[in-house]
Each structure stands twice: as structure tokens, then as C-alpha cells.
């Protein structure tokens, strides 16, 4: 019961999208794994196959049209029973997702995760249905995994903060732009290997992450549709709250009471990209935090 209450508490919180995404992935994995164990034990895999393989996005487009929900389920599901697939993805999601949340806010993290997964699926379907090599090497089953979403977040963080360092075991400090470049290179090489579909999805997610940040710096938020849908869903399940407004004629009203606009935030993000977070003034940090808390 304590575990259930802890889960309820986490899902009731508003600004912890990273935790919620990780929890959803882990819960889906645990359910699939438990179902796999019981199915193997009773030597009847029919129920497991029905549930698990309906989470995979199929490589053939006509099959996908019969299972359109897999466009979203595949990036919340992972290979079972081995834990290494989900473990690697969740570690990457946690490390780079924290940076996105800190600098761009909760909602843009969620937008990147979903859009990255969709971009990976689009590349996967296009190549397996229109490129002769991939048509001849279609996998027997579809694809699962959050890797495309994680690549989108990883490349987005590296594009936003290319000079930021991660301290790697046995290696030391490494700029995240080099970490992202290394993973992209490995996926490119693997795009004609045993896990071609997964690596193609990685590249689709990586491209989305790069474009997302570049467009954001130009004042265009590609995640607005995702945020709008999320906001609509939240309103359906959240009690209406009353807001107190203040007139501009109030004595205590000043510039700091205004919400930071996109131009101001873009200027702060550019400064972070060039000189690092530590170069910000106290006021700039407060303005960035205020903007992030509204996302």
C-alpha cells in the first residue's frame, strides 16, 4: 500500500514529467515481465503475445494502419525479460532529461519525449516501406523501446548546452556534444546491422531533438501542440482554481512582475550556450526559473 501511495503522490505532482515518464516505462516493463513469467510457467503464451506484441510498432505500413495506437505505445515499452534495454534508456533519459527540465522546463521535456518517439517511428516506417534494402530486411516483429525519445532529448541537450560536461567513469569530464555525436555515429553504423530498425529510429529522434532546439531559438516551439493536448487533459482532471490578478497601477508592480517573453528567454538561453549557466546573473536565473515553471 505504501508503494501505491508513493506512486499516486508522484503522478499527482505537476512539475515532475521526467519522473512520470520513467515510472510509466518501468511499470509497463514490470507488467510485461510478470506476464511473461506466468505465461512461460503455465506454458501458454497467448495472452502475453496478445498484449506484448500489440505494443510493437509494425514495420509494414498497412499493418500499422490496423494498429495505429502503436505509434505511442512502442516508446513506453521495452524488450522482455532482459533488463538492459530499459536500464540503458532510463539512465540516458534521467541524465539528459534533467538538463532539459532545468533549462527548458517540464512541458518541453514531455514534448521532446513524445515528438522524438513519433519522429523515430516515421523514419522507421518510411525506410522499411520505401527503401529496397530495408524492405528486403524487414524484421519479423515490430519495434519497441524509448531510444528514439531518449536520443531526441540527448541531442536537444547537446544542441542547447554543447559545452556542458558530464564526468564519465574511467574517462573523466567529457562535453555532452561529443557524447551525443558518439551515439549518433554508433547508430548510423548500426543502421544496416542486426538492429537496423532501432538505429534508424535513433537517428529520427536525434534529428528531431536538433531541429526542436534550433526552432526554439528562432522563437518557434514545436512542442506547442503536445503542450496544448496535455493542458486540455490536465484541465479535465484538475479542479478549477481561482486566480488573483493585480492591476498595473498597484504600488508594488514592477517589471519583475511581468511574465518573461520568448525574446528574453532566448537571449538567456544563448548566453548559457556560449558561457554556461554560471555566467547568468541572479536576475537572469530567476527569470529563467520563472519561465520554466510556467512551461
Domain ranges of the chain: 11-228, 258-295
The torsion angles phi and psi of 128, rounded to 5 degrees, stand at: -75, -5
pLDDT at residue number 276: 66
Give mean pLDDT, residues 36-60: 96
**Residue 58 pLDDT class (50, 70, 90 cuts):** very high
pLDDT at residue number 270: 74
Q: Using the predicted structure, report yes or no on whether residue 283 has a pLDDT greater than 90.
A: no
Helices (DSSP H) in the chain: which residue ranges? Answer: 2-12, 17-41, 46-52, 61-66, 70-73, 84-104, 106-130, 132-136, 147-160, 176-190, 196-217, 224-237, 262-275, 282-293
pTM confidence score: 0.80
pLDDT at residue number 246: 40
* Residue carrying C-alpha cell 526559473: 289
CATH topology of domain 11-228: Rhomboid-like fold (1.20.1540)
DSSP structure class, residue 81:
S
Measured N-to-C along each axis, helices 282-293 and 262-275 cross at an angle, to the nearest 10 degrees, of 120
Q: Which of 59-73, 119-133, 207-221, 249-263 has the lowest mean pLDDT?
A: 249-263
Q: Using the predicted structure, report yes or no on whether residue 44 has a pLDDT greater than 80.
A: yes
pLDDT at residue number 244: 43
Which tens digit of pLDDT belongs to each residue from 122-160? 999 999 999 999 999 999 889 999 999 999 999 999 999
pLDDT at residue number 274: 66
Q: Pick the more confident residue, 263 or 64.
A: 64
The rounded radius of gyration (Å) of the Cα atoms in the chain is 21
Q: Which of 96-110, 175-189, 253-267, 279-293 has the lowest mean pLDDT?
A: 253-267
Nearest Cα residue to 145 out of 205, 61, 94: 205
Which tens digit of pLDDT belongs to each residue from 208-224? 999 999 999 999 999 99
Give mean pLDDT, residues 33-48: 96
Supply angle C-alpha 29, 14, 278, rounded to 5: 100
Measured N-to-C along each axis, helices 196-217 and 147-160 cross at an angle, to the nearest 10 degrees, of 30
Q: How far apart are CA 53 and CA 230, in angstroms?
A: 27
**Residue 254 pLDDT class (50, 70, 90 cuts):** very low
pLDDT at residue number 280: 74
Contact 197, 59 (CB under 8 A): yes
Q: Any long-range contacts for 26-29 (C-beta under 8 Å, 24+ apart)? A: 26/86, 26/90, 28/55, 28/76, 28/77, 28/78, 29/77, 29/78, 29/80, 29/83, 29/86
Amino acid at each position: 500500500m505504501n508503494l501505491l501511495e508513493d506512486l499516486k503522490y508522484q503522478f499527482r505532482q505537476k512539475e515532475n514529467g521526467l519522473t512520470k515518464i520513467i515510472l510509466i516505462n518501468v511499470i509497463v516493463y514490470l507488467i510485461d515481465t510478470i506476464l511473461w513469467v506466468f505465461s512461460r510457467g503455465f506454458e501458454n503464451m497467448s495472452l502475453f503475445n496478445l498484449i506484448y506484441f500489440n505494443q510493437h510498432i509494425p514495420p509494414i505500413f498497412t499493418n500499422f494502419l490496423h494498429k495505429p495506437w502503436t505509434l505511442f505505445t512502442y516508446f513506453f515499452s521495452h524488450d522482455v525479460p532482459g533488463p538492459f534495454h530499459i536500464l540503458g534508456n532510463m539512465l540516458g533519459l534521467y541524465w539528459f532529461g534533467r538538463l532539459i527540465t532545468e533549462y527548458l522546463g517540464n512541458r518541453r521535456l514531455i514534448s521532446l519525449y513524445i515528438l522524438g518517439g513519433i519522429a523515430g517511428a516515421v523514419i522507421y516506417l518510411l525506410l522499411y516501406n520505401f527503401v529496397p534494402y530495408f524492405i528486403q530486411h524487414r524484421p519479423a516483429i515490430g519495434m519497441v523501446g524509448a531510444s528514439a525519445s531518449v536520443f531526441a532529448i540527448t541531442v536537444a541537450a547537446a544542441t542547447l548546452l554543447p559545452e556542458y560536461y558530464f564526468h564519465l567513469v574511467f574517462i573523466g569530464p567529457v562535453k555532452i556534444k561529443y557524447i551525443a555525436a558518439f551515439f549518433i555515429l554508433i547508430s548510423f553504423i548500426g543502421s544496416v546491422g542486426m538492429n537496423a530498425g532501432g538505429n534508424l529510429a535513433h537517428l529520427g529522434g536525434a534529428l528531431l531533438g536538433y531541429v526542436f532546439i534550433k526552432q526554439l531559438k528562432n522563437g518557434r516551439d514545436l512542442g506547442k501542440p503536445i503542450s496544448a493536448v496535455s493542458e486540455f487533459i490536465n484541465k479535465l482532471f484538475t479542479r478549477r482554481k481561482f486566480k488573483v490578478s493585480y492591476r498595473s497601477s498597484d504600488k508594488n508592480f514592477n517589471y519583475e512582475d511581468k511574465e518573461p517573453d520568448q525574446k528574453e528567454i532566448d537571449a538567456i538561453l544563448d548566453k548559457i550556450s556560449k558561457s554556461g549557466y554560471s555566467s547568468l546573473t541572479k536576475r537572469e536565473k530567476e527569470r529563467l526559473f520563472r519561465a520554466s515553471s510556467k512551461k
